[in-house]
Structure formats: structure tokens, C-alpha cells
């Protein structure tokens, strides 16, 4: 059975994913409805996560992953203490709705519960991924605006 994975942050970056998960293949582009993007962490070193938010949406790249890819992602995402996994519905560009696994930041680590700004290198990686996927950078801009205003 194929395992689908939703990337909405740095794993949109094709070069990074090909290094981390060499057998992963892009399955399609889609949208997470009813969620919004946020940066959480310490000032200057926050990472993207999603949270339920009525009327919002988050663009995502859907990957088909093998079990060894998922293990590599688990390590990278700090599963289960930093991020937990959840299966959620994703609407593909084609209109098809698939269920895919997504990583969402936990509130177990005190440094990771506050909204804050990302590092410049992380932000650059995320923006490169957004550009290569053809996603609108306004989603990132909005996440930064919400996260830096609320984080103070």
C-alpha cells in the first residue's frame, strides 16, 4: 500500500527531499483546507507548522514515500517529541481527495510553543520550495506576519 506524505514547509524543497528521501516521488500538488501556516519556536529559529483554522488553506506537495523515507522524515522532524503525525484529507489539483500523513508540531517542548520568526536559511529553503512548486509566497508572508506579531 502506498503511503502519502504532505509537505508544507522545508520538504517542499525538491533538492532537500531528494537527499533526505531518495526513493520518494512527487505524487501531486494539493491544498489543505481548514488549516493555516504558523512559525513556532524561539526567536530567529522558528519552524513551520499548521493548525486548524476555519476558512484558511495551506498549499502542499504530496509525496509518495517508502518506509525508509518515512523513517528518515521521522528523524528529521523529531517525531514523536517535536512533531506528531496525523492522517488528513488533502484535495489535489485534479479535485481528487486523498488521505495523507502530515507532521504537526507538538506542544511538548516549551521552546516550540511560541510563535516567532524563522532563521533566514530556513526561510530561504521554504521559499525555494514554494517557488519550485509554483505556490504563492503570500502564504509564507502571512505566516510570518501572524507569527511575529503574536509572538511578541
- Catalytic residue selected from 77, 93, 128, 145: 77
Gap between the Cα atoms of 61 and 130, Å rounded = 9
Angle between helices 120-133 and 138-150 (to 10 degrees): 150
Residue among 59, 57, 38 at smallest CA distance from 105: 38
Q: What is the 3-class SS of 47-90, one letter each residue?
A: EEEEEEEEEEEEEEEEEEECHHHHHHHHHHHCCCCCEEEEEEEE
Evaluate whether 50 touches 65 at the Cβ level (below 8 Å): no
Gap between the Cα atoms of 16 and 137, Å rounded = 19
Is residue 77 part of the annotated active site? The answer reads: yes
What are the backbone angles phi and psi of residue 150, rounded to the nearest 5°? -75, -25
State the binding site.
Answer: 5-10, 122
State the binding site for substrate.
Answer: 5-10, 122
Active site residues: 77
Amino acid at each position: 500500500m502506498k503511503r502519502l506524505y504532505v509537505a508544507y514547509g522545508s520538504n517542499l524543497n525538491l533538492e532537500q527531499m531528494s537527499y533526505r528521501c531518495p526513493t520518494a516521488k512527487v505524487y501531486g500538488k494539493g491544498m489543505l483546507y481548514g488549516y493555516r501556516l504558523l512559525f513556532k519556536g524561539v526567536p530567529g529559529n522558528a519552524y513551520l507548522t499548521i493548525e486548524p483554522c476555519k476558512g484558511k488553506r495551506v498549499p502542499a506537495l504530496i509525496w509518495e514515500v517508502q518506509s525508509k523515507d518515512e523513517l528518515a522524515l521521522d528523524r528529521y522532524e523529531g517525531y514523536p517529541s517535536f512533531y506528531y503525525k496525523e492522517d488528513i484529507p488533502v484535495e489535489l489539483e485534479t479535485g481528487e481527495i486523498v488521505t495523507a500523513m502530515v507532521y504537526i508540531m507538538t506542544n511538548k517542548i516549551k521552546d516550540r510553543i511560541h510563535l516567532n520568526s524563522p532563521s533566514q536559511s530556513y526561510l530561504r529553503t521554504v521559499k525555494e520550495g514554494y517557488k519550485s512548486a509554483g505556490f504563492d509566497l503570500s502564504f509564507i508572508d502571512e505566516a510570518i506576519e501572524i507569527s511575529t506579531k503574536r509572538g511578541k
